[in-house]
Structure 1
């Protein structure tokens, strides 16, 4: 079993597969450790807190003891020969044979989710430098209307209440893929934190710019408002690109995502599966946010045994954590838009150690992550 991509979905899938004795599981990662794509706002505002719960070395995961992790990037796939070509971090090229392949390479989205093959120093810089840019800016403009945008605006306002933080989004409300109740609650939280809301503002995005850097200067609007100047502009505009350049075209849909059947199996190759943002499961590509990793591992075992595969049933709306951990706890929004709050003390004493580390990740060893210096 080869799992390409050890982000959130790929890591969990590898952990589930490794529980079955007799299966050799190999994980391919462009990072030297696990770097989650979750909770951008907390990552930018309080990276020391974020990395405690979202950045871990692979040797901390007890369930990966039976997984061979390779620090490399996939460069080509031979479907007929069942071989995967890799470029390792030292520049050498190797191949891996696979009987079953899981594609979990995710998407490129801004500067915080990229496919580059990097070392620990690069991971550290990607955490520290954006934080310093935003710490130094007294006037921050967040552009975008998704969860990354609203969580960033709130977390920045909470971290630096002396900063001016504005949130510009194109419609009458943000979070249009969530239930309206979710936005109504989030809007109140933003206003209470001092975030200035700019609805109906659609930005002019410079040609060739994918939101992969924090900029400064003036932002123009296609919706007729006067240009807006800011010391720091955070672009969370959702221009995602699937990390599939290494894959044969026959595995992809017209937009470059991996085409899959309801059981997360490729539509053209029975021994290839996909999960997470790279998998074209539904319009929201929601398998990553709905714990489809258990289903995928079960389906792979069923296929090996000649059984019928289960189906992934996608929700109609996004749900889950939107704002990240706040001073009074963590709010998780149900599909109907109603929030459930974990009080702050339960996040550190129950949610993270018992539900996340022991329950979801099957055991995580003691905290050894390097903490950056933050202001």
Structure 2
């Protein structure tokens, strides 16, 4: 008897974890990725300031994940979905599925782009971005989310001789987090010498995506004088869903994949979606709240014709905001209270035991 085939389209953070959970189920898993391995969208600040340290935990070849040993991995770009035939197209190849997981994520600035990349491409991009900031005497970070805040802090501590400014449109940054998170972050930024510019909304064209590090000056729609800088990091949150390969009837008005509370796509039998591409809630929070485990259970239930469970999104963002610091890693709860992993524990306990063994279910050494 043929085993069901589950195709996971996109092997970023959410798709990879979903594939790992399914890999020991009674299904055949096919993972499709435009990248040669996991190239995480997490911890932008660390990626820019210390790319070697970032790559150790956030750039991992697929061959290192033990749970993927029996999965088929396809390195290519998705170009189409045929709902009637139950197949996706990757270049010249058509791949049939019994269940499809859409986890192709979003494009968001220069660090999350959808195109095909080789290992050499990723290495070159990391080195070029790092060198660009390392050569700058004045760094301007534009944006008020976690990516912007972590970038400002990490670059200021990595290059203390540089002048680092964080400009954001509201009275405070991190508006989607509990106010306590910004209270902690502001103190850390002040200590690192970051200049804060609240109430600064950049004057940028509607089609500008911030997909490269630019040079100032930056004009402000909020009325302030333009700000000059040697390097401008745009972290303005203009996400674009990577859904050009999907039929438009599966998408909402903004181009994200419509989903039911169970993460099933309405009107598409056997199709589910997860992560930033899935319109679960205003924050599209299934990317950050371990919905991968729920989705894997729902896929098994779907194949067994059992009831599915609903995903319940949190009201606020949570997790790491600042990235690893000299005194450890702060992880913020939805209530805004931080828990600090001491520096010694990050690479002795957190990464090897909690992340690689507990979450990823086993990662081989490089």
| TM, length-normalised to structure 1 | 0.95
- Alignment match, 2:111: 112
Equivalents in 1 of 2:269, 2:314: separation in Å?
Answer: 25
The superposition leaves residues 237-287 of structure 1 with CA deviations (integer Å, 9 ceiling, x where unpaired) of 000000000000111111110000001000111300000000000000000
Equivalents in 1 of 2:307, 2:125: separation in Å?
Answer: 43
2:37 aligned with 1:33, yes or no?
yes
- Alignment match, 2:3: none
- Alignment match, 1:122: 121
SS, match of residue 307 in structure 1: coil
Deviation at 1:208, TM superposition (A): 3.1
1:62 corresponds, among 58, 62, 66, to 66
- Alignment match, 2:259: 260
Equivalents in 1 of 2:193, 2:80: separation in Å?
Answer: 49
The superposition leaves residues 165-224 of structure 1 with CA deviations (integer Å, 9 ceiling, x where unpaired) of 000000100000000011011000100110000000001114532100111120111111
2:94 aligned with 1:100, yes or no?
no
Higher relative strand content: 1
- Alignment match, 1:232: 231
- Alignment match, 1:373: none
Equivalents in 2 of 1:39, 1:85: separation in Å?
Answer: 32
Where does structure 1 lack aligned partners over 5 or more consecutive residues?
88-92, 369-375
SS, match of residue 352 in structure 1: helix
Equivalents in 1 of 2:280, 2:206: separation in Å?
Answer: 30
Where does structure 2 lack aligned partners over 5 or more consecutive residues?
1-5
Equivalents in 2 of 1:217, 1:257: separation in Å?
Answer: 32
**Residues 16-165 of structure 1: pairs in structure 2 closer than 5 A:** 16-20=21-25, 22-87=26-91, 93-165=92-164
- Aligned length in residues: 361
- Alignment match, 2:212: 213
Equivalents in 2 of 1:56, 1:131: separation in Å?
Answer: 19
Compare 201-210 and 67-76 and name the one that shifted more. Answer: 201-210
- Alignment match, 1:2: 7
- Alignment match, 1:329: 328
**Residues 337-352 of structure 1: pairs in structure 2 closer than 5 A:** 337-352=336-351
Equivalents in 1 of 2:240, 2:254: separation in Å?
Answer: 9
- Alignment match, 1:197: 196
Deviation at 1:83, TM superposition (A): 1.1
The superposition leaves residues 38-75 of structure 1 with CA deviations (integer Å, 9 ceiling, x where unpaired) of 00000000000000000011110000001100001110
SS, match of residue 209 in structure 2: coil
The superposition leaves residues 279-309 of structure 1 with CA deviations (integer Å, 9 ceiling, x where unpaired) of 0000000001001000000000001111110
The superposition leaves residues 295-349 of structure 1 with CA deviations (integer Å, 9 ceiling, x where unpaired) of 0000000011111101110000000100111110000001111100000001010
Equivalents in 1 of 2:348, 2:311: separation in Å?
Answer: 32
Equivalents in 1 of 2:156, 2:212: separation in Å?
Answer: 20
Q: Where has structure 1 moved over 3 Å in runs of 4 or more? A: none
Equivalents in 1 of 2:304, 2:87: separation in Å?
Answer: 22
SS, match of residue 142 in structure 1: strand
Deviation at 1:19, TM superposition (A): 1.4
Alignment root-mean-square deviation, CA: 0.7
SS, match of residue 230 in structure 2: strand
SS, match of residue 301 in structure 2: helix
Equivalents in 2 of 1:305, 1:8: separation in Å?
Answer: 26
Equivalents in 2 of 1:241, 1:10: separation in Å?
Answer: 18
| TM, length-normalised to structure 2 | 0.98
